[in-house]
Amino acid sequence: MTQFTPMLQALTRQRGVRASLIVSESDGLVVDSSLRFGQDGDRVAALAASMYRKARLSARAAQLGAVAFLQLDAERGRVCAVGGRSDLVIVVVADPAVNVGLIRVELFKALESLA
């Protein structure tokens, strides 16, 4: 149990959320996670961190400023991520039918508590 565990457990309790993780953006390693059965935390962490870093660099190169919220919609799920306050990124993996608006609000709340 870490200082992040209650926040991650609250995220994973949201309907349709399969996993929530705090990931180091630079290393792609899991800092803490709350996973439902069958989720591969290491894989999600590495790929989501890589995706977030690429998005941040792309946004900066396009002079769009900082990345606020990143969302990937795929056939069998969604990945949402927020970060930018430090090297840490909060990642949620959810079902395709999840309420993204609610997830977004919860992720920003979690990001505030991370600061």
Partner 1 sequence: MIIATVEPWVEAPLKRYVDDARARLALLLHPSGQVVAQAGFTNEVDVMSACALAAASHATAGELGKHVDGRAFRSLHYAGPDRQLFLSPVETARGAYICLTVFNLDSSLGLVRIYFEELCRDLAAAAPPLSDLRQPTLAIDFERDLDRNLAALFGRGAETA
Residues that bind partner 1 (CB under 8 A): 23-24, 26-30, 42-43, 45-47, 49-50, 53
DSSP label at residue 28: -
For 31, phi then psi, to 5°, come to -90, -45
In the complex, the smallest distance separating the C-beta of residue 11 from partner 1, rounded to whole angstroms, is: 20
Q: How far is CA 88 from CA 28, 93, 97, 101, in A?
A: 10, 16, 27, 22
In the bound complex, what is the minimum distance in angstroms from residue 55's beta carbon to partner 1?
Answer: 14
CB of 103 to partner 1, least distance (A): 23
Query: Closer to partner 1 at the Cβ: 10 or 46?
Result: 46
Distance of closest approach, residue 95 Cβ to partner 1, in angstroms: 23
Rank residues 42 and 73 by Cβ distance to partner 1 and give the closer one: 42
* Total residues belonging to the chain: 115
CA atoms within 13 A on the CB side of 86: 10
3-state SS, residue 71: strand
Nearer Cβ to partner 1, position 27 or 73? 27
